[in-house]
Structure formats: C-alpha cells, structure tokens
Structure 1
C-alpha cells in the first residue's frame, strides 16, 4: 500500500508528458474500435470481420486513412460506429503525429541551442569556449572521444561527436545537463570576458567551478587553467588533479630555448598531434607489480616505447631507479604516433 501513492505520483508525472495523452487517446480509440466492431459484426457472413485480428486490420486501415476496402462492414449500427471510429481515430492519430513531429523539432532545436540534456557517457567536458577550446576539442576528437562544450558562447564548429550545453560550470543545473556525473574528465578554461577583468576574479570562477564539479562527481579528473600562480594551492585543495597556469609553460619553453637551442622543437614534436612521437600514459599491468622497474623498462623498450616517469595518484617520479620495486599505477611513455 505504501508503494501505491508513489506509483500514482509517478503515473501523474508521466501523464503530463506531451506525447502520452495523444498516444493514450489513439490507443483507446483503436482498442474500442477493435472490440466494438468485432462484437457488432460477429456472426454476420457478409461482413469481412470474423476475428479480432481482422477487426484490428480494419480499424488500422480506417484511422490511418489507408482504406484498402478488402474488409467490408455491413449493418446500420456497425457503420454508425465506424463513422465515429473514423472521426475520432483519424483526429487522435493526426494529433499524435503532429505532437511527435513537434517534439522532434523542439528537441533538435533545443539541442542546437544547447538547452537539452546530453545523453553522452564517459565524455570530456570543456567548460568555457574560446579559440583555445576549439583547438583542444579537435585534438580530443582525433582520439575518437566524445566531447561536450559547456559555455554561454556557442561553438563555431559542429561535429557529430561534439555536444553543446548553453550554461556555466558555476551553475549546478547546467552541470547536471552536461552529464557531469557520467563524465570522466572536465577541463575548466579561464573564463575571462574582458581584458579589464581582474586575474583573481577569473581564477575565483575557476576555483568555484572545481568545487561544484567535485561535489557532484568526486571521481572525475579535473584539469583547470589558472591565470595566476597565487591561486594554485586553493585550486589543488578543492580537488583539481592538474593545474595549468596560462603563460607559465610558454615562458619556460622560451627560457629553455634561449639556454638550450632546439629544446622547444622537441617539446613541439612530443605535444603536437601531427608529431611523429608523442607522450602516452598507460596503466601498469598487475603482472609487473612487485617486480623491478628495469623489467618493465626493458619490456617497454622491446615495444619501441621509452619510459619517462611513473605515477601513483598525485605522486610522480621521473626516470625512477631501475633496480627499485615497481609499485606505481601508471607509466608515462614516449611512443611512436599512430599517424
């Protein structure tokens, strides 16, 4: 008995759905027509209706306006009833089809305008759209990973593997529509609307976004872009897994290029999607756990890959001692690009 009110509440919610009322009306007319015509025509040798199936066949011809004429209906009452089925059935089916078409158009328009809820799973969300976001999205799409852009600025490109939600990562409802609970990675780009906006204010929005995302999905991997190094600790404390300070990496590349000419070309080769070599992170197979790092290193070299670093959670060690035991979960490698 306790379940009945819950069922009734859910049923009322479903009844309010746009398509359910015309669908229920059409089904009711068809059901009424099948049984009423069968009862009125039963036992009449001149009638074409001799079973519930032939009655259904006649009703479906009638309400869909096909009218093959291979199933005659005879008798005054049966024909009067048939007139009612024609008027009510054609009207209800027409109303159902009109609602269906309207819903399809509305859903398509809502999706295009970013007002619909995404159906994506295991996707990557990019918060805040700009030229940088477009480049990131294109690079991710090359790996056949679905991408969703959450922004108040509509993306200037379309792709079947890209979804768009009009909103902001500062709003919990927008995050919900973006499928944040089923997402594996979120990239939060600095949302600077004007040159005059303070760096601390822009970073504050990024930090609040990190908090909102981690509240909904604590297991999501969050990559955040900051404009000031001063806010790095705050972002990390709220759960950011990786933090990129805008301008910091480019400054390091320039200074290294000055001191060590040619270094920037190596970075460009490894980080570019068009490069012949690339960085790759892979899970360490359980069969290597507890063995020496040298064994794993030699195994990777046989596969044509160079071991650069090992990672366990936030802890990373670059070029670890080869004779130590392997107790890390991920390996960062340099491998040949698929291109």
Structure 2
C-alpha cells in the first residue's frame, strides 16, 4: 500500500515542481521583456516604454538634487529623504535586473551592471559616511553625477537619438580597434587597477587620518587628499605625509606599489611600440572581445577588394565600419592607411560557422560576397562554387540580411536561385551589356561610370516613397513637379512597385511608353509606390522613417 501511495505522490510532486519552475521562468522572462526590450530574446511592449521613461526621470531628478542642495540649504533634510527614495528605486531595479538575467552568475560583471552599481555606490557611501563621519558626506555627494552615464543604456531602448547612439557605437568600435591593435588591453587593466587603488587608498588614508590623527594634517579635506597622495608618491614631500602612524604605513605600502607600477608600465610601453611596428601598413584586426553593430561585411579577398572598400566608403561617407572576412585577411597591406581607418579584418574561412559568428552578422547592415578563389589556378566554376557556399553560410546565420554576391559565370545564377532575396552581379555579363550599349551610343560608358561611381559631383539612383502631395497624380504631372522644384535637382526616371521583401524587382523606367510602359490607368501614383529618382544626394521629399533607419533598411550618406 505504501509503495502504491508513493508512486502516486511522486509524479504529483514532480508536476508541482515543474509548474513552479515554469512559472518562475515565465516571471523572469516577463521582467526581462520590460527591462531589456531590445535584447534578442525579449519582446518589446508598452510596459517597457513606461518603465524606461520612469527610470530616466528618476535619474534626472536625482542629479538635479545636487544643485538644489546648494541653492536651498534649508531643505537639505527633504532632499536627503528624496535621495534615499531614489537610491531605494535604483537598488530594487538592480536586483530585478540581476534576478531576471539569463546568466545570473556573470551578470554583476557585465558593463551595464557595473554602470548601475557605480551609480548606486555614491549614495551608499554617503549613508555610511553619515553614520561614521558626517563631514565626509558632503565630499562624496558630487559622485552622484555618475548616474548620468546610465542614460546610455536607454538611448537604444527608447528608439530615439539614432545619431547619438550610432556615434557612441562608432566610438566604441574605434576605441576597441586601437586598443587591440596597440595591445592596450593589459595597459588599460593596469591603469584601471591603479585608479581603483588610488581612489580606495585615498579614502582609506582620509578616514584613517580623521579617526586617528592627533593634530590637523594635510588630509583633513577630502578632495585635497587625492592630490596629496600623488605628491607623496612621486615627489616624497614630507609636509604632505600623514600625521598618524597607521596613515604613514599605508602611504609606504602605496610607495612600494608605485615602484612596481613604474616597471610594469615601462615593459608594456615597449611591447606596444613593437606591436605597432609589426602591424604598420596592414589593416586593423577585429578585436575578439568587441561586438560590432551597424557595419558592412565583405566576405572574400579578391584582387579588387580595396576598390570595393573605397566605393563603399564613398557611398556611405565613412559612416559605417567595414569588416573583411577572408583567409589571410590579417596580412592585407594598404598604401594609405588613413583611407581605411574604418576597416577591420577577421582572418579565417568564411564557410566556418564559428568565423561567421565572430562577424556579428545579426547586427550587420549588408553583406557583400566577392568572387575569390581558394587556390591559385581555380577555375571560374570552382570560384563561383565557393562564393555560393559562402552565401549559403551567411543566409544560415541571418536570413533577413541583404546580400550581394559576385559571380564569374552567368549560368551559375540558375543554381543560386534558391537564395531568395540575394542579388547577383556577374562582372562578365555586366561588361558584355556595357559593350553593347557603347556600340549603339558611343561614349555612353562614361555616363554609366558616373552613375555607378560614388563621388561628390556624381548623380546616383534613389528609390523614395511618393510624397503625400503627389498621391493620385499622373506620372507626367509628377515629372513636371520635380522639374519645377528649385530646392533640389531631381529627375524622375520611373516607378517601383516591388514587394517589400524583394525591392527593385518590379519597376518601369519609362512607364509612359505606349508599348512597354504601364497602361494609362496604372500611371497614377499610389501611396505604396516608390519613385526612381536621379539626384546628387538622397532627396528630402519625405521624412526618413526612424525605424527603417535604425534597422538599416535605409543607409544615408549624411
């Protein structure tokens, strides 16, 4: 009887345990969706927007308390109560983020978690100073301005400030590139530990002197203590030494650490100079610990790689980073490194999924696959086979990523038809068509060259949404509208009615032609049409959709 009873109870307990576990995971997922709506595993919702606005308001109000305490000293008690409330909110937020994190063990050492923790520490230090030494609380309160750094977290979550966020991303990638190229990781770690030791040591000496000094000394003022510690370590001036015996012991230990620090710094600087000489004239290597965003990926290493990079930079005005993924990419040399300052390389076989994961394709804007052979003497079929294999590997990582593939033979396009949405460029086929055009119209190659080359004085094709004032108008009336526009020089060339998932596949460059154009009833512009325009720069007829700009559907030169 007991055996039967135990068999019946055990599944029930297991079901209850599984139900509780699933409920806990659901609650964590719900909290993560609200607090981090832009992560890959989260789903944005209205509650996340309200939460972000609330936290940003609390951050700004808590920082406004600092000047308010100065101008209204009589209300200092009220301001301190508000500071405790704000600190309590930040602590609860930090604990909720920690509890809802995917990896709760490593969350405290993530960059955003460290920023959140540093933003809370000043108030906690003020509270401890209020308990131990009331005079120290006034000295630490300015550190609360560190909370303004937390606003960086919410720039992307609120989907505002695209330009600011893009510049922050660009700055981060440039900094990581310089740090890795010059082997500054170890130097940065040494400087960080030295800064922490300086701040902690100064506070320790300050508190020690406050507690044990029998007479006034050089460490009675909090902010002057930082400067006095530096003077003692580097010059040894005796009138800046601590008064108490324990304080002198602490300064002696810091002096010994400073001697060791000088030797380590010298060795690191020599290592940096040697590494810089070794990498002179070569493209910068992508740091393995740095994640790229809003970048262009070029896969393959062909003889025209540098020309493609120059044209991409000219088209985007150096506003996005370019990552080259190819075998031996770390040995690519350039004659003018200043023209390739936004180019990083990742050495390895692009067919390898691990290499493509390091290319951060999930956050890339475009991918270009160049036709390049693996060995010298490869046939055009072998070269195209490798290009198609690279393309399939890219699609396996990110199906929604716009892809441009270069091929050597036009008959291989049929084999590549399985890659939906990818664009294929056959250099030989383009050359044949250009030759045919030049036979009919001598000198027309210069016109095509101007249209296909990005320079400051050349025109390009653009596809733009129909302005509201042109919806319902005929194509001929739209042409007259652009001819009479004095603000911008624009030529209307055609209509694009392609589906959103396959742009520029259904269009008419001359829709008024009676034989090959659109029927007269179809020549009126619709709200979902796109206009094919020729202009020197992207027209400003319609406002750029911020969502399309953020997701990389639209790339602007300015």
| TM-score using structure 2 length | 0.50
Whether the 8 Å CA contact 1:190–1:227 is kept in 2: the answer is: yes
Higher strand share: 1
Higher helix share: 2
Instruction: Name the residue aligned to 2:200.
Output: 31
Deviation track 1:43-63 (CA, whole Å, cap 9, x = no partner) reads 422633335445444334334
Give the structure, 1 or 2, with the largest relative contact order (CA under 8 Å, sep 6 or more): 1
Whether the 8 Å CA contact 1:222–1:239 is kept in 2: the answer is: no
Which whole-Å CA distance do the structure 2 matches of 1:82 and 1:268 have between them?
A: 70
User: SS of the counterpart of 1:248?
Assistant: helix
Report the CA distance shift for 1:247/1:194 in structure 2 as closer, same or farther (over 3 A). farther
Instruction: Name the residue aligned to 1:61.
Output: 231
Report the CA distance shift for 1:216/1:99 in structure 2 as closer, same or farther (over 3 A). farther
Instruction: Name the residue aligned to 1:164.
Output: 344
Which whole-Å CA distance do the structure 1 matches of 2:255 and 2:528 have between them?
A: 73
Which whole-Å CA distance do the structure 2 matches of 1:325 and 1:285 have between them?
A: 7
User: SS of the counterpart of 1:8?
Assistant: coil
Whether the 8 Å CA contact 2:323–2:346 is kept in 1: the answer is: no
Report the CA distance shift for 1:148/1:291 in structure 2 as closer, same or farther (over 3 A). farther
Deviation track 1:17-73 (CA, whole Å, cap 9, x = no partner) reads 95658845763575256425643564422633335445444334334x244544243
User: SS of the counterpart of 2:459?
Assistant: strand
Which whole-Å CA distance do the structure 1 matches of 2:467 and 2:343 have between them?
A: 36
User: Aligned ranges for residues 170-181 of structure 1 at < 5 Å?
Assistant: 170-181=351-362
User: Aligned ranges for residues 245-284 of structure 1 at < 5 Å?
Assistant: 245-273=426-454, 278-284=459-465
User: Aligned ranges for residues 96-135 of structure 1 at < 5 Å?
Assistant: 112-117=283-288, 121-135=293-307
User: SS of the counterpart of 1:73?
Assistant: coil
Supply the RMSD in Å over aligned alpha carbons: 4.1
Which whole-Å CA distance do the structure 1 matches of 2:364 and 2:102 have between them?
A: 34
Instruction: Name the residue aligned to 1:73.
Output: 242
Runs of 5+ consecutive residues of structure 1 not aligned to the other structure: none
How big is the shift at 1:161?
4.3
User: SS of the counterpart of 2:396?
Assistant: helix
Which whole-Å CA distance do the structure 2 matches of 1:22 and 1:169 have between them?
A: 37
Instruction: Name the residue aligned to 2:418.
Output: 237
Report the CA distance shift for 1:195/1:299 in structure 2 as closer, same or farther (over 3 A). farther
Whether the 8 Å CA contact 1:128–1:150 is kept in 2: the answer is: yes
User: SS of the counterpart of 1:244?
Assistant: strand
Whether the 8 Å CA contact 1:224–1:240 is kept in 2: the answer is: no
Whether the 8 Å CA contact 1:127–1:169 is kept in 2: the answer is: yes
Q: Compare 102-111 and 279-288 and name the one that shifted more.
A: 102-111
What is the number of residues matched between the two proteins? 335
Q: Compare 318-327 and 221-230 and name the one that shifted more.
A: 318-327
How big is the shift at 1:94?
4.2
How big is the shift at 1:224?
0.7
Q: 1:84 aligns with which of 253, 278, 290?
A: 253
Which whole-Å CA distance do the structure 2 matches of 1:73 and 1:195 have between them?
A: 72
Runs of 5+ consecutive residues of structure 2 not aligned to the other structure: 1-94, 115-184, 512-517, 539-558
How big is the shift at 1:207?
1.6
Which whole-Å CA distance do the structure 1 matches of 2:297 and 2:274 have between them?
A: 24
